[in-house]
Structure 1
Amino acid sequence: MSRDKEEVRRLSTHGQLLEKPADVIKNPYILEFTGLEECKAFSEHDLETALIDKIEYFLLELGKGFLFESCQKRFSFENRHFYVDLVFYNRLLRCYTIIDLEIGDLKHQDLGQMQMYVNYFDRYVKLDEENPTVGILLCLSKSDELV
């Protein structure tokens, strides 16, 4: 299902090399194990359900050191509720990793929402001795200029 076929070939040939902390976060992710077809129309909920149903495979795809904490984790600001799609902890990086699922193209609103999620985790969830939260927007495509 990945659009970056060359990167997929490189990963399948050489695997994931961990030379710096940023290398723990893979790009691209290969999600064929979900069973969702490339041409099939599906929702973010369908993708989330498929990932949770196959959590062992998704953890292996994420990379080394990831531990699953929750899905649709709720937090609130002044009676407004927000939900983080997927929450993981990486024991090697000693930080939370939160994932927001977007089935379409990346939009600037998605980046702002993710920044709010990351700020919340850094202020109210992580411990002082832990590293800053990492946010991943899992989307169909992105513009490098926008990111």
Structure 2
Amino acid sequence: MNQLIKMDEEYRKWIEDIGKRYKQRQIKASVSVNQEMIGFYWSIGKDIVEKSAGSKWGSGFFVNLSKDMRTILPGVQGLSSSNLRYMKKFYELYSDPILPQFVEELKSKEDSINVPQLVGDLSDKELFSIPWGHHRAIIDKCKLDREKSIFFVKKTILNNWSRAVLLNFLDTDLYERQGKAISNFEYALPEPQSDLAQEITKDPYNFDFVAIREDYSEKELKDALMDNITKFLMELGKGFAFVGREYTIPIEGTEEKIDLLFYHLYLHCYVVVEVKIVAFTSRDIGQIGTYVNIVDDLVKTDFDAKTIGLIICKSKNNILAKYAVNSSKEPIGISEYKLSNLLPVEYRASMPTIEEIENELR
């Protein structure tokens, strides 16, 4: 042991207390091992911050603490100096002084713990439910951006992301795009569906999984999306189920064809999607509003929630889009898409068409 543990009574008692806390948590049921361990890491981070340990016990503090903890907890993993620094960052990122019922239950067994009640709308149980490796990745990528960190914790829980998948999404602009569509959901839908509907949107949608020529038509883009339906559904987000393309609804001797129809499993509602390869115009609101109304009247059942409309266009004037959605009583969102994987116009000319192939085979 280093000289500090021999000479400083406060430090010695703290190290002993850490050992007791660890052994208490080690006894917990195996099903809550991860939650208990993350809680233990939280408590260490809290101690380091509240004791101003780095400044009180010198620049070599984390190295010495690591050595001393390994001495009193031989064979225990996760006590390196770098991991101790992560514990400090973990506490600083999410700390909140208010204690919830869950924490009070833990306090009845261990008086010294203090963990957050809610950070945004994130509960302590949620915070402690994902593996430590995920937390380290989030800390590395999100730095001290609390809202962004919360976003990825909740996404990890919702989608059951592995660390590799989480790292992939941390390197994208998912946080900046999620829930950003211009909409009237706040006025056109009851709570909490309005908030949930907004959350399922993105702006822009990333169609880079599609390879298409530069002067593509609307039909070609929709064909490409359907050819990559799995990736399209992944981009739309978890909960979307594909119902049909050009979904036909008979109406008094005529029929209407809905561009793309989806069902959202969590919102329990149909979602009408219109893809436009040009800039948004106010006329688009009338078209999708009509389709939403038709689906509500002829497709939706009493067990389904209100149908939502989503326009995904090449570009939009945000002010015009806001005025346009506010003019409709139907719940409508407007987003852009980005598409950078474009092929030269000449590419199509070098490839035979289906008709040309069929003629050659005759």
Same fold (TM over 0.5): yes
Following superposition, the deviation at residue 79 of structure 1 comes to 3.3
1:12 corresponds, among 162, 172, 185, to: 172
Partner residue in 1 for 2:294: 120
Q: Give how far 1:78 is off.
A: 3.7
Shift of 1:143: 1.8
The alignment-based identity, stated in percent, is: 33
**2:36 is the counterpart of 1:36:** no
Q: Which runs of 5+ in 1 are unaligned?
A: 1-8
Partner of 1:5: none
Deviation at 1:110, TM superposition (A): 1.1
Provide Cα deviations, 1:58-103, integer angstroms capped at 9, x if missing partner. Answer: 0000011011110011124343432111111110111111111111
Q: Deviations over 1:19-56 (max 9, x none)?
A: x401112221000111125xx11111101100000000
C-alpha change, 1:46 and 1:10, in structure 2 (3 Å) is same
SS at match of 1:89: strand
Q: 2:210, 2:228 within 8 Å by CA — same for their partners in 1?
A: yes
Mapping of residues 1-147 of structure 1, within 5 Å? 12-13=172-173, 15=175, 20-21=195-196, 22-37=198-213, 40-147=214-321
Tell me how far apart the structure 2 counterparts of residues 101 and 81 of structure 1 sit (CA, whole Å).
Answer: 20
Unaligned runs of 5+ in 2: 1-168, 180-194, 322-362
Counterpart amino acid of 1:122?
D
User: After alignment, is 72-81 or 100-109 more displaced?
Assistant: 72-81
Structure in which a larger fraction of residues adopt helix: 2
Note the aligned Cα RMSD (angstroms).
2.2
What secondary structure does 1:131 align onto?
coil
Letter in 1 for 2:211: G
Residue type matched to 2:216 in 1?
A: F
Q: CA deviation at 1:142?
A: 1.3
Query: 1:57 Cα shift?
Result: 0.2
Q: Aligned letter for 2:302?
A: D
- Taking the aligned partners of 2:208 and 2:245, their CA distance within structure 1 comes to 20
**Equivalent residues, number:** 136
CA 1:77–1:123: 2 relative to 1, 3 Å: same
Between structure 1 and structure 2, the one with the greater Rg is: 2
Measured in 1, the distance between the counterparts of 2:236 and 2:258 equals 17
Q: Distance in 2 between matches of 1:144 and 1:17?
A: 16
Please tell me whether the aligned partners of residues 178 and 202 of structure 2 are also in contact (alpha carbons under 8 angstroms): no
Deviates more, 1:99-108 or 1:54-63: 99-108
**Structure 1 residues 127 and 144, CA gap change in structure 2 (3 angstroms):** same
Whichever structure has more strand as a proportion of its residues is 1
Aligned residue identity for 2:209: F
| Counterpart Cα distance in 2 of 1:102 and 1:141 | 9
Give 1:71's aligned amino acid: R
Name the TM-score, length of structure 2 as normaliser: 0.35
Alpha-carbon offset, residue 17 of structure 1: 6.3
Task: Report the Cα distance in structure 1 between the residues aligned to 2:171 and 2:271, rounded to whole angstroms.
Answer: 22
Shift of 1:146: 2.4
2:178–2:203 CA contact under 8 A, matched in 1: no
